[in-house]
Amino acid sequence: IENKVLKGIEINKQQRYAFDEVVLATGHSARDIFYLLHEKGVKIEAKPFALGVRAEHQQEVINYIQYHGETDNPYLPPAAYSLVEQVDGMGVYSFCMCPGGIIAPCATQQEEVVTNGWSPSKRNNPYANSGIVVSVEPKDLPNYTPDDPFVSLNFQKEVERACWIAGGKTQQVPAQRMTDFVNGRISNDFPKTSYQPGIVSADLNKVLPKLIANRLRKAFVLFNKKMPGYLSKDAVLHAPESRTSSPVSIPRNAETLEHIEVRGLYPCGEGAGYAGGIMSAAIDGINCVDAIAKKYQVV
């Protein structure tokens, strides 16, 4: 990009290809791309996002709660759940709940830990995990200034690094039994977890920023009213769940889908702030291609 005109793409500072239209869909963890755009004077903005922990129960506990004790019915699949509460002015909600699932290490850089979850197609793991996250606006964050596009990203990075340190500077993550977290006690031992690199006992109230930890504590108590048994000593919190969505957005024209200042650049998918999940990212890709076809009157 030169003087807000897109010239094409360059690969590893070696090959250059001239293009008039480029779809930029590098995902929400390509921080180097956000820094590159900012360096080149391409407008990007801080975005609201959500951050918290991955909670893991035994799947049979979730089945028991959701099926009201009817756990031996062979026709019922491993149960899912969806929870949401407003706590002290912010939303706290379950995200990407994985029945019969596994918590996976998902860091993308050195000196950070990140968790996420997935389920095998049979959903037959003995665990049920879910992100439990607090919705944050850039203006809620410490160090907020209106013009800083990196305030959310820096917050995300700080939490991921703090968890890496608390976890012993490996891919182990800091963890706490849910009841211990709510009562501010360190956990002395843990049930088995699906998180393969392992967990280290820590008080997540001290590892996570107060604006997150305080709301999570209250949310677990409220969630337990909706799903009695959810707040359990056998549920383990793994920190952090921090990649729910992009902390940065790349603004685009609502009609042409081009960047608001750079013609020919199509910010696309989750990293640009226009999708959350596989389907919406795929659809946004189709929308961008359609927008280009429309420009050339192919359709």
Ligand X SMILES: Cc1cc2nc3c(=O)[nH]c(=O)nc-3n(C[C@H](O)[C@H](O)[C@H](O)COP(=O)(O)OP(=O)(O)OC[C@H]3O[C@@H](n4cnc5c(N)ncnc54)[C@H](O)[C@@H]3O)c2cc1C
Among 78, 100, 247, 271, binds ligand X (CB under 6 A): 271
d(CA 229, CA 210): 25
Q: What DSSP state is assigned to residue 297?
A: T
CA 72 centroid distance within chain: 34
Q: How many residues bind ligand X (CB under 6 A)?
A: 18
Among 4, 7, 27, 227, binds ligand X (CB under 6 A): 27
Q: Which span sits near ligand X by CB under 6 A: 153-161, 165-173, 179-187, 276-284?
A: 276-284
Pairing of strands 199-201, 173-177: parallel
Bond before 240 cis per omega within 30 degrees: yes
Q: Is 118 in the site for ligand X (CB under 6 A)?
A: yes
Q: Which span sits near ligand X by CB under 6 A: 26-34, 58-66, 120-128, 223-231?
A: 26-34
Among 30, 87, 90, 289, binds ligand X (CB under 6 A): 30
Q: Is 26 in the site for ligand X (CB under 6 A)?
A: yes
Q: Is 270 in the site for ligand X (CB under 6 A)?
A: yes
Q: Is 289 in the site for ligand X (CB under 6 A)?
A: no
Q: Is 281 in the site for ligand X (CB under 6 A)?
A: yes
Among the listed residues 177, 178, 170, 179, the one whose alpha carbon sits nearest the alpha carbon of residue 198: 170
Amino acid at 209: P
d(CA 233, CA 219): 16
Q: Is 80 in the site for ligand X (CB under 6 A)?
A: no
Q: Which two tokens stand for residue 269?
A: 């998918």
Q: Which is nearer to ligand X, 97 or 151 (CB)?
A: 97
Among the listed residues 105, 102, 118, the one whose alpha carbon sits nearest the alpha carbon of residue 171: 105
Q: Is 14 in the site for ligand X (CB under 6 A)?
A: no
Q: How many CB atoms lie within 10 A of CB 159?
A: 23
Among 50, 175, 275, 291, binds ligand X (CB under 6 A): 275
Phi and psi at residue 167, to the nearest 5°: -85, 0
Q: Which is nearer to ligand X, 96 or 163 (CB)?
A: 96
Phi and psi at residue 54, to the nearest 5°: -105, 120
Q: Is 178 in the site for ligand X (CB under 6 A)?
A: no
Q: Is 91 in the site for ligand X (CB under 6 A)?
A: no
CA 163 centroid distance within chain: 15
- Which residues would be at the binding site for ligand X (CB under 6 A)? 25-27, 30, 33, 96, 104, 106, 116, 118, 269-271, 275, 277-279, 281
